[in-house]
Amino acid sequence: MKYTINLKHIIILCVVLLAVNTIGAQEIIEDEVKKEEVIKKVDSVDTSNAFKVDGVAAVVGDFIVLESDIQKEKDQIKASGGSIEGVEDCELFGLMLERKLYAHHAIQDSLPVSDAEVRKNVDYQIQQFLQQTNGSMKRLLEFYNKDDEQSFRDEMFEINKSNLLAQRMQAKIVEEVEITPEEVRAFFNKIPEDERPNFGTELKVAQIVAEPKVSDEENQKIINRLKQFKADIIEKGASFRSKAVLYSQDPGSASRGGKYTLNKKQPKMVKEFRQVAFALQEGEVSEPFKTEYGYHIITLEKIRGQEYDVAHILLTPQVSSEAIQEAKERLEKVRERIVAGDISFADAAREVSDEKETRSDGGQLINPTTQDYNFELTRMDPELYAQIQNLKDEEVSLVLREEDRTGGQKFKLLTVTDRIDEHQADYARDYLKIKGLALEEKKIRAIEKWQDEKIIDTYVKISKEHKGCDFSGNWLKK
């Protein structure tokens, strides 16, 4: 399916370009800079030696693209593990122009991108970059040819903000795009039979989970300890942050004194945590409460509009060795009943599984990507694949031991409930996948229509060196 392959290529490249944060001289023109001054800068590309080294390649609305940005974009895509094989400079340049168009109109439409969100992205990216230089900021600055950390952060801030604005604008363009069953059928029928895509082998997997139980005594011990922390803070003036550094078992925040910034409009923490945090007054310390991670206390440090600066201490109850052994033996007995034919796997899951998300559905796992029961073999989570790769259909695995994201132990049984071998796309069997392809094509068409209209309505100036490009969009306004 040639056009589908090309469409997917474009989508992937767009995603890479939006996700990648190029460390280059892409900038937002300040409000006080007059449009006439920008035009003079662009016109000077052809005649001024000062701009021959790094001239202005284009102006799109309130944004400029420098000549050096194109090569920097290529270098950054490669450094991020992407590929630009077969992508011409003009095509890459056109995609950069599109990003600037999105960002410009995101500002015009007042789409929200907070400075705190941008700074958080920058902090995360710098930490990722530092892992590549063994924690050396000096080497990182040398690699990106920057004089100091602050100028590096400032430049990353502007690039991140531009990219986030572009993402917000793209999301807004397609947020109401929907597709009907008739459109899906029409999309499928227009694909020549010999060009229909092949879908890889897919499995349906079910599991039964046994989680070792924490004793009531251990839970109460943790609650009492957190109550004592609260008393020390309120009655004795102890530092909440110091307590968090010394005792919190949250690896993501302990070193920062337990600090997190929450946003009411962009919830990221678990529901129980948010409910407690947003109910506090500044300076107040909560009572101990439970989440899937353990028990917490929270203090609210400051409210800044929709953002809440909080700190928390997390303590996780310890499971006894007896409880661990009990959970393992419980699953071993369940497996014996299933293998003997005394009970089906699905009924056993409903009867004994401790995993509430899958229990009522006979233990059937849901693919988080597609939201259905099918797992494509080549895209399956490597850990899950290793656990089921040698299982025959309806065969029950041995009892498997696993650690969850909090370090707690659990045991599970797995079985493959269905298998679909690699095959050419079939409308009935693969409806959801075909619908996804059809919807993506319709979104691309919506974006192209929006882009065509906005290019006409937006100030665009392309330098002489790039007017020979065969752009997919009407950037030259012919």
State pTM to two decimals: 0.57
Least confident of 66-80, 107-121, 124-138: 66-80
Q: Rounded mean pLDDT of the chain?
A: 85
Q: What average pLDDT does range 329-336 have in this prediction?
A: 96
The DSSP secondary-structure symbol of 474 reads -
Residue-level pLDDT at 406: 60
Residue 51 has pLDDT above 70, yes or no: no
Whole-number pLDDT of residue 221:
96
Q: What is the dihedral of CA 62, 66, 72, 76, to 10 degrees?
A: 10
Confidence category of residue 43, pLDDT binned at 50, 70, 90? very low
Q: Has residue 257 got a pLDDT over 60?
A: yes
Whether 146 contacts 180, CB under 8 Å: no
| Sequence-ordered list of residues with C-beta below 8 angstroms from that of 71, at least 6 positions apart, any chain | none
| Cβ-contact 23, 160 below 8 angstroms | no
> Comparing 69 with 173, which gets the higher pLDDT?
173
Return the pLDDT at 98.
93
Residue 231 has pLDDT above 90, yes or no: yes
Per-residue pLDDT for 427 more than 60? yes
The dihedral through the CA atoms of 226, 228, 233, 238 has a sign that is: negative
Assign 132 a pLDDT band (cuts: 50, 70, 90): confident
Q: What is the distance between the alpha carbons of residues 274 and 287, in angstroms, rounded to a whole number?
A: 14
pLDDT band, very low/low/confident/very high, at 109 (cuts 50, 70, 90): very high
Give residues with Cβ within 8 angstroms of 448, minimum separation 6. Answer: 473
Residue 40 makes CB contacts below 8 A (sequence gap 6+) with none
Residue 47: other Cβ atoms inside 10 A: 10
Q: Over 60: is that where the pLDDT of 111 sits?
A: yes
175-185 pLDDT, tens digit each: 999 999 999 99
Task: Supply 193's token pair.
Answer: 């039979």
Q: What's the pLDDT band for 169 if we cut at 50, 70, 90?
A: very high
Highest mean pLDDT among 1-15, 240-254, 366-380, 401-415: 240-254
The distance of Cα 288 from the centroid of its chain, to the nearest Å, equals: 31
Residue 388 parent element (H or E): helix 382-388
Q: How confident is the model at residue 124 (pLDDT cuts 50, 70, 90)?
A: confident
Which one has a higher pLDDT value, 238 or 48? 238
The answer to whether residue 170 scores a pLDDT higher than 70 is: yes
CA–CA gap between residue 109 and residue 128 (Å, rounded): 32
472: pLDDT confidence band, cut at 50, 70 and 90?
confident
pLDDT band at 2 (very low <50, low <70, confident <90, very high): very low
The reported pLDDT for the residue numbered 405 is 64
| Cα distances (Å, whole numbers) of residue 115 to 23, 160, 162, 165, 302 | 18, 10, 12, 12, 17
Percent of the chain with pLDDT over 90: 57
Given a cut of 80, is residue 35 above it in pLDDT?
Answer: no
Asked if residue 151 has pLDDT above 70, the reply is: yes
Q: What is the mean pLDDT of residues 402-430?
A: 87
Closest CA to 286 of 263, 255, 308, 318: 308
Exposed, middle or buried: residue 390 (CB in 10 Å: 0-12, 13-18, 19+)?
A: exposed
Cα four-point dihedral sign 105, 108, 112, 118: positive
Residue 265: what pLDDT? 81
pLDDT value at residue 155? 84
